[in-house]
Amino acid sequence: MLFSLIVMIVNYNIKAQDKSSDSALGAAASNATNPLAFVTKLQIQPNFVWKENQARQIALTTRIIQPTGSVLLPFIKSKDPSKVYTLYRLELPLISQTYPEKPSLDATGLSDVFLLDVVAFKQKWGLLGIGPGLIIPAMNPSQISGGKWCAGISGVILNTKTKGLQFGVLAQQYISFAGSSNSSSRNFMLFQPIFNKVLRDGYFFGVSPIMLFDWENTSYSVPLSISLGKAFAKNLSAFIAPQYMISGPNKGDVILQFQLNAMFPPSKK
């Protein structure tokens, strides 16, 4: 009788620990997939691209996301950081590409740098974000750089109140205002529908392709994509996402994305 009681207690504790662990991993997965989460992130994302005629491209993007209890600028403090806060995002892409049949397109170097400053507003249904963006041309070979300074605006709408589910959209519109006279003017939008489902044990999958609408050249690049990832701890996650470009100048490209995401405890709001 005593032995049976001990076994029941041990089993109960194990189940309680499993539930606690699963809850922590679920929270980590939600933070990993939420673009407006109040969590500092360091993301390393290599993309491998297979093109026609044995052309290849590797793009390594380093992304730093830092939330603060301010509004737009660091010295403008939010009256209620639990409801209104700012996320600063910096993207540094390194690109290397080879075109056996068109050597003039071969290039390696730093591509254009993206800076975003998004103010997030907590809503009853989730999160709303809006703020300015800036593209800094790397002035590297034109094969990997747009050569133009661009200013724009970003907007995010994200439902986070459905348990284990996130859905919404993220849009970024940019227009060039300065830069190399040898480079064409730029006017484009990056549009990303967001659908993420968090599963048990920290696993998650999503359908969040980044579409490019180039208004200047009247071309539209739309990929077909699905991602599968896992949170390994409260501060670490990774995902893999195969893509196929179904329209646009790069139609037919096969892309494999991989991302390693390190998350750090949020600073006090």
pLDDT at 119 over 90: yes
Q: What percent of the chain has pLDDT above 70?
A: 90
pLDDT, position 12: 38
pLDDT, position 20: 52
pLDDT, position 75: 86
pLDDT digits (tens, 9 = 90+) for 213-226: 999 999 999 999 99
Cβ-based neighbour number of residue 193 at 10 Å: 14
pLDDT at 45 over 70: yes
Return the sign of the alpha-carbon dihedral for residues 74, 76, 79, 85: negative
pLDDT, position 141: 81
For the chain, the average pLDDT equals: 90
115-125 mean pLDDT: 96
pLDDT at 8 over 80: no
Q: CB of 230 within 8 A of CB of 29?
A: yes
pLDDT, position 265: 75
61-79 mean pLDDT: 93
Phi, psi of 175, rounded to the nearest 5 degrees:
-135, 135
**pTM metric for this prediction:** 0.88
Exposed e or buried b per residue across 217-256, where buried means at least 16 C-beta atoms within 10 angstroms of its C-beta: eeebbbbebebebbbeebbebbbebebebeebebeebebe
Segment holding 64, helix H or strand E: strand 56-68
pLDDT digits (tens, 9 = 90+) for 166-223: 999 999 999 999 998 888 999 999 999 999 999 999 999 999 999 999 999 999 999 9
pLDDT, position 21: 66
Query: What's the CA gap between 11 and 8, in Å, rounded?
Result: 5
Residue ranges covered by each domain of the chain: 2-264
Query: What's the CA gap between 180 and 111, in Å, rounded?
Result: 15
24-45 mean pLDDT: 95
pLDDT, position 266: 63
Residue 21's identity, in one-letter code, is S
Is 2-264 a CATH 2.40.160.40 domain? yes
